[in-house]
Amino acid sequence: MFKNPPGDYAGRLIEASGLKGARIGNAEVSPVHGNFFINHGNTQATDIRALIQQVQKTVKEKQGVDLELEIEVIGEWSV
């Protein structure tokens, strides 16, 4: 989901921020690997966007790192 910042790993930062298993609607940060999102079915784009924003905000607050998306979002919404 996110690019690894220089000298670190996005998954480690997400896990260290306590976000593994975080869920909004049917979108979840994987409890196995923090840098993967799980779609539990019928997930809305707004749920994915909100989870991306929550992860970025929390990692910035707790780790001081800005996570950059590795994926390319398309469609009517932006992050």
Predicted local distance difference test score (pLDDT) of residue 71: 87
The CATH code belonging to domain 1-79 is 3.90.78.10
Predicted local distance difference test score (pLDDT) of residue 60: 98
Strand order from edge to edge, sheet including 27-29: 23-24, 27-29, 37-39
Predicted local distance difference test score (pLDDT) of residue 79: 53
Judge whether 38 and 28 are in contact, CB under 8 Å.
Answer: yes
DSSP string for residues in 14-68: HHHTT-TT-EETTEEE-SS-TT-EEE-SS--HHHHHHHHHHHHHHHHHHH--PPP
The Cα 7–Cα 26 span in angstroms is 32
pLDDT digits (tens, 9 = 90+) for 50-70: 999 999 999 999 999 999 999
Does residue 75 surpass a pLDDT of 80?
A: no
pLDDT digits (tens, 9 = 90+) for 6-44: 999 999 999 999 999 999 999 999 999 999 999 999 999
Q: For the chain, what is the mean pLDDT?
A: 94
